[in-house]
């Protein structure tokens, strides 16, 4: 067994209960733990995320240049349009981070607390020939 293994990604936010619910629904997951200052979920694919209460949390300004993007989450999707509708329906918002012209292979968003994340298209494999 390795000396160190990955645990859980933790996002600081003012309202961990609300943010955990956003990601629980987005990822078809379940809440697996909660305390006064931390809520943890596991997505349908096993990804674990936790949300820690920080009354002074402020969202990053990315893509505006005042702050650099320190970290973000990336989720793989089969249908960008459907996934975007889900994100917006749950209270997330699109983040314009590039040239709006052309076909997008990925799209940037902010969750309700302002954390950045990306939905990236996973192309379906080409059907087998003959």
Domain holding 66: CATH number?
Answer: 3.10.180.10
pTM for this prediction: 0.78
Residue 109 belongs to a domain: yes
**For the stretch 74-99, what's the b/e string if a residue is b when 16 or more beta carbons lie within 10 angstroms of its beta carbon?**
ebebeebeebbebbeeeebeebebee
Residue 15 belongs to a domain: yes
Structural domain total, the chain: 1
Residue 67 belongs to a domain: yes
User: What are the two backbone dihedrals, phi and then psi, of residue 21, each rounded to the nearest 5 degrees?
Assistant: -65, -40
Q: Give the model's pLDDT for residue 3.
A: 58
By residue range, what is the domain housing residue 107? 9-121
Q: Give the model's pLDDT for residue 58.
A: 80
Q: What is the pLDDT along the chain (130 residues), one digit of tens a residue?
A: 675 567 789 999 999 999 999 999 999 999 999 999 999 999 999 999 999 999 888 877 666 666 555 677 889 898 999 999 999 999 999 987 555 554 558 899 999 998 888 898 887 666 656 5
Q: Give the model's pLDDT for residue 102.
A: 47
Residue 114 belongs to a domain: yes
């Amino acid at each position: 067994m390795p000396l160190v293994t990955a645990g859980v990604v933790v996002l600081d936010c003012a309202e961990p209960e609300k943010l955990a619910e956003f990601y629980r629904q987005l990822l078809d997951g379940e809440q697996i733990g909660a305390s006064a200052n931390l809520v943890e979920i596991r997505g349908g694919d096993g990804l674990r995320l936790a949300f820690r209460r920080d009354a002074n949390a402020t969202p990053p300004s990315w893509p505006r240049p005042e702050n650099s993007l320190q970290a973000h989450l990336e989720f793989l999707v089969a249908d960008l349009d459907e996934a975007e509708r889900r994100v917006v329906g749950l209270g997330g918002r699109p983040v314009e981070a590039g040239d709006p012209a052309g076909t997008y292979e990925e799209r940037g968003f902010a969750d309700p607390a302002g954390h950045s994340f990306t939905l990236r298209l996973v192309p379906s494999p080409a059907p087998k020939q003959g």
